[in-house]
Every structure is written in C-alpha cells, then in structure tokens.
Amino acid sequence: MKQTVSFSKNAVNVFFHITTRCNLKCAHCYINPAQHGDATLPADTARKWLWFFQKPGKAANLILLGGEPTLHPELAQIVTAARQMGYASVTIDTNGYVFHDILDQVTPEDVDYFSFSLDGATPATNDQIRGAGCYAACTRGIRRAVEKGFGVSVIYTVSRKNLHELADMPEVLSDLGVHRFFIQVIGIRGRSAQAGGDALQLTRQQWEQNVVPVAQRVAKSGIAVTYPKVFLEPDEVFECAGRVAENYFVFPNGRVYQCPLCEDFALHSLQINDQGLFPAPKINEADLFRLDIAEGCVINKLVQGGNIDYDDQGRPRWKIACCLLKEEIPAG
C-alpha cells in the first residue's frame, strides 16, 4: 500500500491550507476566515513555507487542504516542489470536484493519495450536509482518480446527521474501488460551533456500537481503516500528540496550530513570517498540552466538554483521547 499520513507517535505531518476558498458551504466546515485568513497563497510563498517544516532525518508527510485545494491554479506546481524537497508523502484532500483538471496535471508518482470527503452513503444524506449535487460530483471524482491509478481514500465525518448511513458505507466504498477509509469525529469548531454543535456529536454508546463494527467490516472487505479511539477508560494512558508527535496545521495568514481543536481561537503555538517559523506569544496551545487532567484531552475539556460524563463524586467516567492519535485496522 502506498504511503500516506501517519497518525502515530513520532510522525511529522504538515496539514497545509493553501487557500480558504471553497465552492461549497458544508454544514460542519471548520474554516474560520476571522482566524485563518481569506487568502490564496501564491506558489512561491507556499514553496518557501514548505521548507520551514523539513528537518534533517525526519521526512514529513504533506496534506494539502483548503478550503478546496484544487481551486488553487498552481496546485500541481506546489506538489512538484514538495516532492523535490523530499516530503515522504503527498495527499490532496478534496470535496471531489477536482478543479483545474488536477487529475491530469499530476501523476500517481507525484500524489500518494487523493482523499475525498463523502458524508453519506446516499445523495440525500450527503447533500443535506455538503450541498446539492455534491454526492454525484464526489463519486464521479473518486471513480476518475481510481481509473487513473491514484491511491484513493474517503473521509466520513460522523455526526448525528449521518450516523444512520455509516453502516451502508462498506458496500459504497467497495463499489467505488477505494483503498483507505478515514472515519472522523465531528469537531465543535467553525460552523458546527456556531450551530450548537453539541447536538451533533455522538454519545459514547453510539460511537462504540456503530463506528467500531463498521470499521471492522470495511477492513475485512480489503480496505484499510483509520479512526479516532475517542473514549478511554479512566485507567488507560492518555497521550497528547502535541507531546509525542509533530502535527502542524498551517493557514494562509501564517498561523500554525498543533491541535485542530484550537483553530477557532488565537491559541496557535507557531507563526510564520518572512524570516521563518517562530513560537507565538504565550499563553498558547503548547502551554496547555503540558497539563494533565482526569478528563484526558485538555483542549477537548475547554472547547467541547459535552462529550464527558461524571459520576456522583464529580469524577469523569471516561477520558477523551487525543483526536490526532488514531486506531488503524489493516486491510483484510
């Protein structure tokens, strides 16, 4: 299997938002122009910034995002630059519209994976979340990418709006010829936060009764699956990716976060300017990573603590795991 982003300890992953422009207005979009900017980075700027995350002996994985990254007219040049710099893998996240004929502008040797966002097993559910016509456009894009020999993954962001169709996804994925399946937990940020997102997240019972069995079924069908564990027992060890891995979420305004849950706030730990990559003023997310609490993830407790339950003594019944350290089930 081709290489893709590694959500494990000691990995270096660069999630590079080269634009915040998008042709869609998804109900759970996390892009926040007030915090992330509204620019599209010129290719020369993107190339310069990519150098800041290359470290001797630690080849990084690159994930190109937006907005919709295929709206960027110089996306192919950015991919080429990343390969020349020695990035270990390149993934392009897309809503499926694959603008600028990007599937014809790059090759499977250039791009390890095209990762398509699909949030329903049917047009009715997916398009309610992502917009009319999105299901048809996305599945068409997936089939074209598979035919051209690209590694193809699908991201399914699970919420109470689409949980009922998650069980139908194994057949959909097999029919489309997908190679990997990423199940994501919906974060209470961006539009989800504005819309009272607490009502969108699954309970622990819903997650364990639905997500884990589907992940196992998909893997048995021959498709690798990655998903967040989410819930830890009180005696399980909590590990923060901010301590044990290197994940950088880069935005066009130069903010660099290490935790995606912080992205609605000016808590970024790093900042890019013309001279390079520098620590942001304190207090920032990096200071919070050092805290140990009974609930597990400090950031989760601060921004979306509704997924924790407490006993009569005020003790948490479980911990929330770091969303960046995933479970993986190999194909087959």
**Does some domain include residue 162?**
yes
**Which residue segment(s) compose the domain that 100 sits in?**
12-236+322-329
| Cα gap 158→318, rounded to integer Å | 20
**H helix intervals, 178-284:** 191-194, 204-206, 212-220, 241-244
Residue 91: its H or E element: strand 89-94
Joined together, the tokens standing for residue 145 give 């990418």
What is the share, in percent, of the chain residues with pLDDT greater than 90? 88
**Does some domain include residue 270?**
no
Contact 132, 140 (CB under 8 A): no
Break the chain down into helix, strand, coil percent, rounded to 5: 35, 20, 45
**Does some domain include residue 59?**
yes
SS3 231: strand
The vertex-15 CA angle with 12 and 17, nearest 5°, equals 155
CATH number at residue 42: 3.20.20.70
**Does some domain include residue 153?**
yes
Q: What is the dihedral of CA 98, 101, 102, 106, to 10 degrees?
A: 150
DSSP character string of 158-187:
E-TTTHHHHTTHHHHHHHHT-SEEEEEEPP
> Within 10 Å of residue 316's Cβ, how many Cβ atoms?
18
Buried b (16+ CB within 10 A) or exposed e, 85-107: eebbbbbbbbbbbbeeebbebbe
Q: Render pLDDT for 229-251 as a digit per residue (tens, 0 to 9).
A: 999 999 999 999 999 889 999 99
Per-residue pLDDT, 193: 86
Say if residue 226's pLDDT is above 90: yes
Contact 134, 173 (CB under 8 A): no
Q: Render pLDDT for 287-325 as a digit per residue (tens, 0 to 9).
A: 999 999 999 999 999 999 999 999 999 999 999 999 998
Q: Render pLDDT for 90-114 as a digit per residue (tens, 0 to 9).
A: 999 999 999 999 999 999 999 999 9
Q: Render pLDDT for 68-85 as a digit per residue (tens, 0 to 9).
A: 999 999 999 999 999 999
Please give the C-alpha separations between residue 161 and each of 28, 36, 129, 199, in angstroms, as whole numbers: 11, 27, 8, 10
Per-residue pLDDT, 7: 60
**Does some domain include residue 265?**
no
pLDDT band at residue 8 using 50, 70 and 90 as cut-offs: low
**Does some domain include residue 267?**
no
330: left (phi over 0), alpha (psi -120 to 50) or beta: beta
Joined together, the tokens standing for residue 265 give 């706030």
> Within 10 Å of residue 331's Cβ, how many Cβ atoms?
15
Joined together, the tokens standing for residue 189 give 């940020």
| Cα gap 50→32, rounded to integer Å | 22
pLDDT band at residue 54 using 50, 70 and 90 as cut-offs: confident
**Does some domain include residue 263?**
no
- pTM of the predicted protein model: 0.95
Greatest pairwise CA separation for the chain in angstroms: 60
**Does some domain include residue 288?**
no
Q: How many domains does the chain have?
A: 1
Helix axes 123-130, 134-147, angle to 10 degrees: 110
